[in-house]
Amino acid sequence: MNKAVEFIDWGLIDYQQGWDKQEAFFEKTVVVKTANRTNGTNVATPNYLIFCEHPHVYTLGKSGHPENLLLDEQGLKDKSAVYYKINRGGDITYHGPGQIVGYPILDLDNFFTDIHLYLRTLEEAIIVTLQEYGIQAGRYPGFTGVWIDADNERARKISAMGVRCSRWVTMHGFAFNVNADLDYFKNIVPCGIDDKDVTSMERELGHALDIEEVKGKLKIHLATLFGMELT
């Protein structure tokens, strides 16, 4: 098992460019795995943990419903946003500045081959990061992601998740609202859920956060919970 994980921060990056780079890393890991099985070798498969932010973009997963985007082409232009149908699970979501987007590209054979545990571990890293800022968060039964007040009618989502996993190699990941402009969520039915609110750390605390500081804490928690050796 190779626990070494290369950490990369792309900063603000165009969504299509980031997706293409993800696919390249994903394919690199899959090629090594396939060669190992074909040739009976044991070459270590690479792992990556990528953080970034995107300009305003809406993405629709494979199982999503296009009608959950409430903007037409002109509406997207008016909001300076773009729209992509992509190859992750889940429905529609929004990415934009002030949001930490995380793309773990991991060979789960190096960690654990359980996609449900994988999602719960991503959630837990965000939950414990929020705890450091005095924000109590948890899970909403039946839904992925991280929620606040999940046990009552004020339930609101602070982090969405949508992943792809093939040959136990992951891509795509999570979106964590730190200082995100929440008005952009009004143009979609977020994750196909029309009766729950969306929130951010800024909204919960009443002030903007140092996103680089939040990234640093989240990175540490992900490494600890997965047993990563970050490089």
Q: Which residues are catalytic?
A: 191
**Which DSSP helix (H) or strand (E) runs through 115?**
helix 115-131
As a whole number of angstroms, the distance between CA 63 and CA 51 comes to 25
Closest CA to 9 of 50, 54, 53, 55: 50
* CA distances (Å), origin 92, targets 88, 166, 193, 210: 10, 21, 10, 27
Helix axes 115-131, 211-226, angle to 10 degrees: 140
Q: What angle do CA 104, 110, 111 make, to 5 degrees?
A: 75
Backbone angles phi and psi of 46, in degrees to 5: -75, 150
